[in-house]
Chains A and B, each alone.
Chain A
């Protein structure tokens, strides 16, 4: 039976990007529906009543919410191709640990870099780089966090990699000079077909960031 796969999404969201990339890694046909986050659709509110956020994957009418939860679900359902999550329990625990680290220690300062100025922004830059350096140490000399293969942690980071250039422009700093190996891995990820087809142009993201900064009076 043909699966019905709908993704409620927002083009610029690093979290939405993760779901798109995972679906494309698996070669799953899906319908992407763009949400206006200022005027959320009844479907979004019905499918994610608790958090009312994107991405929401609706698979044969049943919703799955929270980006890395969606990625893991995609990996388990369409398990035949391009394994995203390792099979070894210890490696899986390590992957989940780093996702949790990324979605706290990278997310919080990242969110402030593009939306604040002055001292708040400076502290955010410092915390952001510190977190990236910890990740870089974890990456080591592997091409991807998943080792030879693009995997769970790489997908999580790619949402942020797509925003690296806008962050650097918003806050006037260079990520590459601080984290060259991580940047090399980022470039590798950004060249993957599933990623190229899933992320917007960095210039468009920067334009959005500037627009929102203006609106917030930053």
Chain B
């Protein structure tokens, strides 16, 4: 394995010679030596079968080198590397088809990673708990890492083709490909179970196919194939990471400018303009939107088992998953009736999902701050399943607590009483300040202390998501507000924890401010059965026993999609710090690195460190482009045309694609408050590597006139390329994790003081 690795970079060493001897044009290679064209062929049947194939050998070479650098010894190290620990757990859940929520991005990225694992026969039985943990013998690490690595390798030829589509020469295209090829950070990021390379691949593919579409002059319908491909890859890019959205928006911007020019084409008929606009609209807006939803469809159809994140979802959602809640709720009666025994879950999953609860303990007569309470039984919200979560719905006009035959369902607007199953106290509220939120009313289980505090235990049922006017209260589906009849306050989860006397359960209050649309006011019936026992003793037994009958309850895919997407966008994770997190400004100078992996016993290690030379050159060329653009703009405005209009157009397009993409992929991070890492910068960096050679070509053709200057530029370029290669070669051990370096060698690799390189004490 090590020999393999050693052999690979030697192939790369030939690269600079290639640049020098670049013949620029693709080699025409007639693979089938057919008959000469001049020869007369009188009869049709005598026509020979001719296949003319053009192969761009440079492209082939570049691609094979890319595959070599990205794919060789992929299964080394045979241990969890950096964020594999994060993505791996989701791959495992995928293999077991267990539902999860990951707020970091849409599901396509996980689907792709899981696909690789599936093809390699991974069964999901691996605990991803720490970086550096060894993979077991039977696990096919190679297949896990294959798809990201393939995407990473394909980025190199894509860069090549993109430069060609921007109408630059093959030399520039080769330069761009070489820079991408020799970028250590891209190699590292491609070789593991990570998503950046997949994102970069789709974004580049989208751009390439759009430019292909735009550049093909023919009005043939085949070019719409490229547009469709563009739409698909946009959807894929957004589906992998939300960051793909900015590239998509940029592409839409470019496309709308082009469309505007199409509209301005007065030679074309109104109809053809309409058709063209419609096609663009379909391919670039409708198709991506549909596909984006389709990713969720796959996600939701594959993950149909309940799992650790169930609790974050609504009861209806949970009930649609196998196991978990659906096991309990399966076969419950649908319509809540007078006499029903129910558990009420708060619709708010903030701070935690919980159920309306009461227990044999009263509010303290005086709180710590000296305020008084009613001293009645506590009513709280409890985040665990418990027998004390059961409530019985009682008709205020009748005494018994059983369901009639036939059951008398509760409708929207009905007035009910709620009886706590285990203690038989009535849910009550009154004008007493709540323990933690004194602006709201206290909610209690009513105890008559004979202190002229009458029971106020009537509640009106207000179904907020009703479709008909007098809809029946349904289990799981209906979102209900309980409005206190005497005070018109609404039962609400305040989200505050009670102190020790309330067992740190969550406070439940009744609040007047019913205008605020807040999910903390809503409650759903989760577990439900028709009560049959008249006596308290029997009822307790009944409450302790599980419910079961069999009916399937489904919610539509659309409802699930909306809920999941909303949860993913609003799920707030605790702000976390990380040792290797960095600020966007540090990325430009690569001030921080990230240690990805360290061998358990030796100094072999993998770091995310970019190619410092090409990194610097890339940023210089970005500055140079902007400077040049400003000078051109001002001078053109004053009537000096330094370059022809065609060249100017090419220059502008280059700026839109490369500098524009860099900006949209970089600036949002400046505004983010999240913990961000160096690898977030890689998509932006790719465009700069495209910009460097193309800008040099622009300078070469349009700005340098004397042959001496041009020759000087050639020498500089070759020098820089050599230096880039040397830098790549030097950092190879940290990129591939092999060979192991001694402490002094590592010390010498610490080119910047701020880099964190690890030494193992021998």
Asked if A pairs with B, the answer is no
Q: Which B residues lie at the A interface, using CB under 8 A?
A: none
